[in-house]
Structure 1
């Protein structure tokens, strides 16, 4: 398994590198960093998210890097120390006079305020920071879910921000996510114990808290996130309150953190399925911190697997690949073939969304082999969905993204016929994607027949994500040519889909 390279500290002590940074000559910075490590252009591309062709032109002087967001992406991806640049990097708060005079940006590229992301990846990964990240994610989701007005009048964007607090987390950029992954990989978990005025926490209480979350999982897979999202948010608030106000020893503290990690990640998944992607990512990043505090690599890999879904669904496929690869690195010593297969399917979806067909097929093939091995001793109890049907369903989605509609139709057919074990939403999602594949292949009659089944499920399952897939199906049906019979079927189906939105 190939891991992302890194730039050692000694590189940033090189006077020529510092001089290039001071001049904002990022082509020279890229070339010198590669020579000093050494790295290939492909390595720098993987770290920064910039394409290899763009880096080649940058180093040759044919292109200049002037867009602030891409400058931040480039510098943060390489791990540039913040004191070497005047430009604030994501999550890094710098006083205006903190940078040496020689590193000030030239007049044509003045310092620009960049909104920090939270939880801040560069601050120590302590227990207190973990609690802060959990609270911030909860507060941000609560503020985002407030009505447009209340008894005191309209709630403006400023007022909502004040309710959430100045440190309300915003969605991490791709490069900030990379920084979070690196810190999760490198930081040592500190001792987790607390002596407070509250009651001493028992391991039995931790089991009860975990059991409540597991029941929410069961509700979600059958009824959709709309039925459980608020409950998960309240449950996370309870778990955080126990962590903050109770007394517990090291063993119990780790188990509490594990429950917090699992709850935050699931709250993120529920928020994502309910159509709140910003809140979802904040929860998932907080879950990653809590998994680190719990010293539980499986929970950390689980949080990264959901962040991968967020990435390929939100137009950031490289995020999906990075997150999945990082999760696989941390569990490679465990006997957890189903967890590894889950990460591989999500990595494959990232590759497919990026148009990397061969990489997607390799990842799917490896996932299928791991799935066929059955559950391992270290596979977590919460991973219930990995089976042959899941492999076929994810393969269908990858083929659909790559434009291989015939392969997508075939894979979705296998997925739909597989036993779903009460997973109505997942069954509906695969039906909706199968209908899209039929529509794009030009078979509108089949698309309407399968789409009707998906709509029937969507009418009883509270999932914004399923409704979004059905809206995509409507668009595909409108674009496709049709016979008189299929035109009638398409109209009826698109009307039913439109009715879901109301």
Structure 2
């Protein structure tokens, strides 16, 4: 193996260095996810960047920026750069691959964020105004970003202000109780949350930098939910969604900001809906999904609309399978032409589950084949963040749940065992959920003692998991085992432990 040089500082790399960066540069770039790095003047002399600038197409410039070797051997993802620009990943994809952006304020805003030298631009930057990537940015009455926390919002929450409430109203809450909820939800890194307890301005103004901060919340909620579940997290999301929606209804913002703002709030509404589903508040989820679809259409953000429709398919899966199928079909139509393989995997899985609930076995098997074929095509750089959970485990798990709906518990148990053995540490909640469903499948196979032993073993983990969806299924097992005419020792032990723990 030959020595190579670090593209950032020019230093020689060790023979065993496969990251493309020397150790000091890796340390200096650990926070690059929060804001664009300060690049040297030579950065802009890279031939692909020069060609993109010459084309006068900022989308091509952004793509060349993402793939610059200065960032290491792995290009910056669209999701990361979109977060800097205050837009969604889907919007950035359209910017990069669509016609040139012509709105001067948007061109100037993004050029300043990326630090493109004025002399290389084909338009003039305004002489005044804050650089949102370098200056503190906060919603009117909302928090300034924590400079040690990658731009996350900070401060204690409050009950969301009603849209009819006075804009001078100060909303208060029990700070200690909220901090407990935030800690349980895994959001302790988000600080004091003081912004939701501050007075509102008479005429707030919102810019793209504020949209970027709101967008970052969705990622925080998604990551915390995957690890810990949504019980307490749902309360936080409802507070935040209500308050930010109230601000948006009162705020002043340009036409360019409007699209990004509506897309950001649509994504937040969809995330809140999912948290409500996992927290066992299924009825509460539907209004948020309706809100997400409405805002996504206002923003012309088909990606968020498809996400909301996929969640509606999930929400209707058990009680209204025909409606679930219609939602999945609509999502496939809307995403035709741009959906990535993993997104198509999810939508075919939604159709498969609906057909299983309708007892249409041949249609179920057809959709499962399509889902597996799409999954085998692998990940794509344009994969939206909300499908982070779509992997082999999810395919196996949803196939198993469909087998339960088709009254095939043996096949369900086999698929669940496969799902459990391919678990990802980042999706701890799903791992526990599928283990609970395996205990259910084992009981339905007729092995009552084994089901009781599995359920007893799961009890401590379920108690720690903040997901009423998981808890409900374990409670169903407890109820079913309680009907056993002659309970065995394992059955009695589980029932006593479950009742004593008050899960």
TM-score, normalisation: structure 1: 0.57
Query: C-alpha separation between the residues in 2 aligned to 1:480 and 1:366?
Result: 41
2:396 is aligned with 1:392: yes
- Mapping for residues 42-441 of structure 1, pairs under 5 Å: 198-313=203-318, 315-441=319-445
Shift of residue 479 of structure 1? Answer: 5.2
Contact 2:221–2:271 at 8 Å: present in 1 too? no
Query: C-alpha separation between the residues in 1 aligned to 2:465 and 2:255?
Result: 41
Contact 2:416–2:435 at 8 Å: present in 1 too? yes
Query: C-alpha separation between the residues in 1 aligned to 2:483 and 2:443?
Result: 9
Secondary structure at 2:425's aligned position in 1?
coil
Query: C-alpha separation between the residues in 2 aligned to 1:263 and 1:431?
Result: 29
Query: C-alpha separation between the residues in 1 aligned to 2:209 and 2:215?
Result: 10
Query: C-alpha separation between the residues in 2 aligned to 1:254 and 1:500?
Result: 49
For residues 265-287 of structure 1, the C-alpha deviation after alignment (integer angstroms, 9 at most, x for no partner) is 11112122222222111111111
For residues 55-104 of structure 1, the C-alpha deviation after alignment (integer angstroms, 9 at most, x for no partner) is xxxxxxxxxxxxxxxxxxxxxxxxxxxxxxxxxxxxxxxxxxxxxxxxxx
Shift of residue 480 of structure 1? Answer: 5.9
Shift of residue 369 of structure 1? Answer: 1.3
TM-score, normalisation: structure 2: 0.57
Contact 2:161–2:243 at 8 Å: present in 1 too? no
Match of 1:491 in 2: 492
For residues 371-421 of structure 1, the C-alpha deviation after alignment (integer angstroms, 9 at most, x for no partner) is 121223432123210110110000110001111111101100011111323
Secondary structure at 2:327's aligned position in 1?
helix
Contact 1:226–1:463 at 8 Å: present in 2 too? yes
- Mapping for residues 10-29 of structure 1, pairs under 5 Å: none
Match of 1:102 in 2: none
Match of 1:467 in 2: 471
> Using a 3 Å threshold, how does the CA distance of structure 1 residues 501 and 252 change in structure 2: closer, same or farther?
farther
For residues 90-123 of structure 1, the C-alpha deviation after alignment (integer angstroms, 9 at most, x for no partner) is xxxxxxxxxxxxxxxxxxxxxxxxxxxxxxxxxx
Shift of residue 444 of structure 1? Answer: 2.3
Query: C-alpha separation between the residues in 2 aligned to 1:139 and 1:321?
Result: 36
For residues 220-259 of structure 1, the C-alpha deviation after alignment (integer angstroms, 9 at most, x for no partner) is 1212111211110121123213321222223321111111
> Using a 3 Å threshold, how does the CA distance of structure 1 residues 290 and 499 change in structure 2: closer, same or farther?
farther
Query: C-alpha separation between the residues in 2 aligned to 1:197 and 1:323?
Result: 40
Match of 2:24 in 1: none
Secondary structure at 1:382's aligned position in 2?
helix
Shift of residue 138 of structure 1? Answer: 10
Query: C-alpha separation between the residues in 1 aligned to 2:295 and 2:309?
Result: 12
Shift of residue 342 of structure 1? Answer: 1.2
Shift of residue 481 of structure 1? Answer: 7.7
Secondary structure at 2:226's aligned position in 1?
helix
- Gapped regions of structure 1 (runs ≥ 5): 1-136, 141-195
> Using a 3 Å threshold, how does the CA distance of structure 1 residues 481 and 424 change in structure 2: closer, same or farther?
farther
- Gapped regions of structure 2 (runs ≥ 5): 1-159, 164-200
- Equivalenced residue count is 307
Contact 2:423–2:431 at 8 Å: present in 1 too? no
> Using a 3 Å threshold, how does the CA distance of structure 1 residues 429 and 246 change in structure 2: closer, same or farther?
same
Contact 1:428–1:453 at 8 Å: present in 2 too? no
Query: C-alpha separation between the residues in 1 aligned to 2:425 and 2:248?
Result: 35
Contact 1:138–1:233 at 8 Å: present in 2 too? no
Contact 1:312–1:320 at 8 Å: present in 2 too? yes
> Using a 3 Å threshold, how does the CA distance of structure 1 residues 258 and 497 change in structure 2: closer, same or farther?
farther
Shift of residue 494 of structure 1? Answer: 2.7
- Mapping for residues 441-452 of structure 1, pairs under 5 Å: 441-452=445-456
> Using a 3 Å threshold, how does the CA distance of structure 1 residues 470 and 371 change in structure 2: closer, same or farther?
same
